[in-house]
Amino acid sequence: MALPGNLATLTPRMMLLTAAAAAVIGFIGFIGFRVIAESTVEKDKGGATHGLAADIDRNHAFPLVRHGGSIFVPEHSSYRSRIVVAPAQQKNISLSRVVTGTVEADPARTVKVLAPVTGRVGELDVELGDTVKKGQPLATLDSGDLAQAVADAEKARASAKLTKSAFDRATGLNKAGGLALRELEQAQNDYLQATSEMKRAEARLDVIGDSGKVSGQRKIVLTSPIDGAITSLETAPGDFIDSSTASMMTVSNLEKVWVTASVQEKDLSFVQKGERVEVSLVAYPGEIFAGRVEIISQLLEADTRRNKVRILFANPHGIFKLNMFATVRFFVPAAQKVVIPSSALLMVNDASTVFVETAPWTFERKPVQPESDYEGATVVRGLAAGERIVVRGGVLLND
């Protein structure tokens, strides 16, 4: 069959190219139609759509229509049955924060036992963890320094006694006219110096004796300064103590203990002095210990950026053991807060958002700031009570 006109001169290759060009032009036209359809939304005061958007609704062509920052769900869209909208609720609640903590000894009831003189440990009368009473023997120290201190005190006493006798004789001779005033004054000065040296030597012995009982010339029995328990032990029989600042052991009174919580900087608003606290211990599951904030440190730890918060607990039965792990819940006074279902929150670029209904089936994205979980829901800031939000199906609107 002969082709009419110039078509007869077309080669098969040219006919193929012509058909491809026609298909591209048709696709571009379709895309242009869709762009115009999605960007053209006409609504009356009641929220109904007209024009091209209404045609899209009738043809069920698109489940969503986007225009600027608004998203419209057409009447016949299948999304309407999957999206649930409800108002944000306002409730009077007390927020809380949970942090970790440990049981510690009260520093005001903890004493480090120091050796008042250098020497060698002869006997050790206690072990780590032992309960002790005030004045109970802890260890015996054999000390050359103690022997020197005792000798110095005895020498000072003898010197004071001798100079006192000399001063008394000089006073009598001076009254009788048999001794010059200058010699009386010298005797008096010698006596005063000897008395001063005796007081110094005896004061040193008193300080040594405050730590224990001096026995003989060389031995001192160190005693417990308070009632408590041996919570650390850094010596043993035969150990030589060469520094009066080195701790031999620590005695802690554990009738009252601290639970020390490490609170992150961002959670410090939940911590107020005197506010109630709930503490739970791994050793006693299901049991809650109620307390109140006693001390809030004025210094953040530089390496962890955390703040030490201490809660004091009575411990007459020894339930709290040192270094126990604890879970600490802090509360703030009750206040009106906006609460929304957790399913309403959507993450966009690490930011929390919700979809707010601005008109019937028209939504806009709004950023919010979650504060805390509350009974399966989320407390947020940035949203007013009563605002209608998407509580289910928001992921369908998400970009």
**Distance (Å) of CA 205 to CA 196, 313, 354:** 15, 39, 77
Cβ-contact 366, 382 below 8 angstroms: yes
Cα separations in angstroms, 321 against 1, 153, 226, 228: 105, 45, 19, 13
Tokens encoding 223: 């005693």
pLDDT of residue 32: 40
The alpha carbon of residue 36 and the mean position of all alpha carbons in its chain are separated, in whole angstroms, by 56
Looking at residue 399, what is its pLDDT?
66
Instruction: Say how far apart CA 248 and CA 348 lie, in whole Å.
Output: 59
In this structure, the number of other CB atoms found within 10 A of the CB of residue 87 comes to 14
Q: What is the dihedral of CA 312, 317, 323, 328, to 10 degrees?
A: -50
Domains of the chain: 5-74 (no CATH), 81-91+335-396 (2.40.420.20), 98-107+253-331 (2.40.30.170), 112-246 (1.10.287.470)
pLDDT at 172: 87
What are the φ/ψ torsions at residue 252 (nearest 5 degrees)?
-120, 130
The residue behind tokens 């950023």 is 367
What pLDDT is attached to residue 5? 43
pTM of the complete model: 0.62
> What does pLDDT average to in each consecutive run of 10 residues of the chain (399 residues)?
42 46 43 39 45 46 86 93 95 89 95 92 94 94 89 91 91 84 89 93 86 82 94 94 89 96 90 92 93 93 92 93 94 89 92 95 95 87 95 89
> According to the model, what pLDDT value does residue 180 have?
84
- Looking at residue 324, what is its pLDDT? 95
HSE-CB at 369 with a 13 A cutoff on CA atoms is: 3
Which residue in this structure is represented by tokens 């109620």? 290
Q: What is the CA radius of gyration of the chain?
A: 44
Q: Look at residue 354 in the predicted model and tell me its pLDDT.
A: 96
CA distance 84 to 343: 11
Q: Output the six-digit token pair for 339.
A: 């609460």
**pLDDT for residue 51:** 44
